[in-house]
Amino acid sequence: AGVAMAEGEGLVSVDYEVSGKVQGVFFRKYTQGEAKRLGLVGWVQNTSHGTVQGQIQGPTARVRELQEWLRKIGSPQSRISRAEFSNEKKIEALEHEDFQILK
C-alpha cells in the first residue's frame, strides 16, 4: 500500500473480537479512526451476538498499540469487558487497502 516499512519491522495480521457494551456507541467509527491514525488496515463490524469483530494488519508495534486500545479504551461511551485476539500470523504484504467499517 505504498507505505515504507522500517527495516526489521515485520507485518502481522490478527483477528479480534471485543465484548461488552460495544454496539450503538460509535465503537466501529472510533476503531476505524484509531486504526487510520496508526496507519493500519483491516476491517471492523458488529456481530449478531452483540460483539464487535474484525481484522487488523500492519507493522507489529502498531498492531500491538491498537490491540491495547481495543482492550482498554474503545469509544468514549463503550464498556469493554473482553477483547480476544486470534489467528495472528506474519504476512508478506497487506491484504486490505484501508480500514473499513463493514455492515
Which residues are annotated as catalytic?
28, 46
Q: 42: closest CA among 54, 53, 50?
A: 54
For 78, the 3-state DSSP assignment is coil
Amino acid code (one letter) for 99: F
The Cα 9–Cα 78 span in angstroms is 32
The answer to whether 67 and 34 have CB atoms below 8 angstroms apart is no
